[in-house]
Amino acid sequence: MPLSSWLFIPRRHAAANADTSTASRPAGFYRPETLATYLGVSLSTIYSWNSSGYGPAFVKLGNLVRYTFEDVELWLARQLELSRG
């Protein structure tokens, strides 16, 4: 059964006065490979973070690991707060 047949991923619609840099990004998930590229780290670092509980929250869809855009942005914001003390 294809993933799209049972998984509902709502689409974001940009408001007329919304910041298009974030509003134009579709709702959905990062794959581990795309997350590694986005964060500028290796794929093995992403998997290491998963097993240690350090990185962004992830969901398992069968054997697939995915990260919501919102969880990644929240994790990044927390890392920024921690680094500033």
25-69: pLDDT as tens digits: 556 899 999 999 999 999 999 999 999 999 999 999 899 999 999
In a domain, 67, yes or no: yes
Which one, of 54, 55, 70, 63, lies nearest residue 10 by Cα? 70
- Is 14 inside any structural domain? no
pLDDT score at 27: 65
Q: What is the CATH number of the domain that holds 56?
A: 1.10.1660
How many independent structural domains does the chain possess? 1
Task: Show the domain range for 66.
Answer: 28-85
Domain-located, residue 50:
yes
Most confident of 18-22, 35-39, 79-83: 35-39
